[in-house]
Amino acid sequence: MLKQLAKTSSILITGGAGFIGTRLIDRLSLAGIEKIFVLDNFLEQVHGNNRPTFSSVVTCEVGDIADEGLVRRFVRDADPDVIFHMAADTGTGQSMDLPRRYCTTNITGTAILLEALKAISMPDKSRHIVLPSSRAVYGEGAYSLENGTIAPGPNRSPADLATGKFDIAEIRGLRAEPIKTPEETPPNPASVYGSTKLMQEYLVAQLAPVSGLSATILRLQNVYGPGQSLSNPYTGIISNFIETVRQGNRINIFEDGKISRDFIHVEDVVSALVAAASVKEYPNPINIGSGQATSIIELSSILLRVLGAPPHDFFISGQFRAGDIRHAVADIRRAREILSWSPSIGLEEGLRSVVDWSTQKTSN
């Protein structure tokens, strides 16, 4: 896949200075890509005071994806063959407090980018856009019903959560069991963030064909790995748990600890992004995850062991957050078939890489 990308003359990465983007740039640079254009707003919440150092093949512009004039100029200068559109505000909880910001960045910003790409479209030049979307578009994952059918899980009500009714035991009066979520599951986002990512998908699917673009849409599960912000409370449960343990506190596990997630290492995600850049004839979203469900209790035990702490040094508080989903794990058969991709880094190995990196970072 990298050999094919090495033949491109220019790659544009929006949000390229972020957690996943910097790893993608490292991979592309090793492949011999000579022109990489990066647009990033260096939001303090995400980056703090740290900014990555790029090689000479990278042209980095500091600016916002919703700045129409800037985006049009930068896209024209880059004249990209491949676009990785990664600029987005992330965080399901924060999105419920800042809906306008999330809509402006994720929806308006995507529309501005697509308009800018359409403005430079040429009949004899093909361009390909890769959109990293999110499993948040599903809301609850898929469930198998006792009559043999599959249904999307309904969003849980705050009233049920307050009484300790955490599981989704039945749907439409039928017993239900959580299963791996296939891409055919109807979207039902439970957060503003999920809704904006779904709208990104619609915009790319609808506008790419009339903008001289082919497109690949990836629905990422919970991405983690070295380089993930340890100070941003919205970046993920793993970094938050690491900081909790290092501060000498016990991990607070919400609900009954049986919430499940699909954790995928950033290096596996980068491999999927590279593979997606070469797939130009497949219009449907593709799940990217480990394909394995991990409960929060299991995650905590493994992480505590890796950190050298007692594996049961956590407590189950019963606290909950409205809008949280109960079960999420990806069916990744489509990724194996279409992208010839599969994850290669197991959870314990991946957690060790995060802990080793964060230890080195905090000791410097």
Q: Which two tokens stand for residue 233?
A: 């409370």
Q: How far is CA 177 from CA 141, 144, 170, 331, in A?
A: 10, 5, 8, 15
125 sits in which H/E element: none
CB within 8 Å of 60: residues ≥ 6 apart: 16, 17, 38, 39, 40, 54
Mark whether 193 is an active-site residue.
yes
Contact criterion met (CB below 8 Å) for 38 and 80? no
Query: Rounded to 5 degrees, what are φ and ψ at 298?
Result: -60, -45
First to last CA, the chain: 36
Q: Which residues of 168-179 are buried (b: 16+ CB within 10 A; e: fewer)?
A: beebeeeebebb
Half-sphere exposure of residue 27: CA atoms within 13 angstroms, side-chain side:
21
Contact criterion met (CB below 8 Å) for 151 and 175? no
Rounded distance between C-alpha atoms, residue 277 and residue 271, angstroms: 10
Q: How far is CA 185 from CA 11, 63, 132, 139, 355, in A?
A: 32, 36, 18, 10, 35
Q: Which listed residue (102, 138, 143, 193) is catalytic?
A: 193
If you search the block for the tokens 């409370």, which residue do you land on? 233
If you search the block for the tokens 């640079």, which residue do you land on? 29
Rounded distance between C-alpha atoms, residue 291 and residue 108, angstroms: 32
Contact criterion met (CB below 8 Å) for 300 and 249? no
Helix (H, G, I), strand (E, B) or coil at 149: coil
Contact criterion met (CB below 8 Å) for 192 and 102? yes
Rounded distance between C-alpha atoms, residue 86 and residue 131, angstroms: 7
Residues designated catalytic: 193
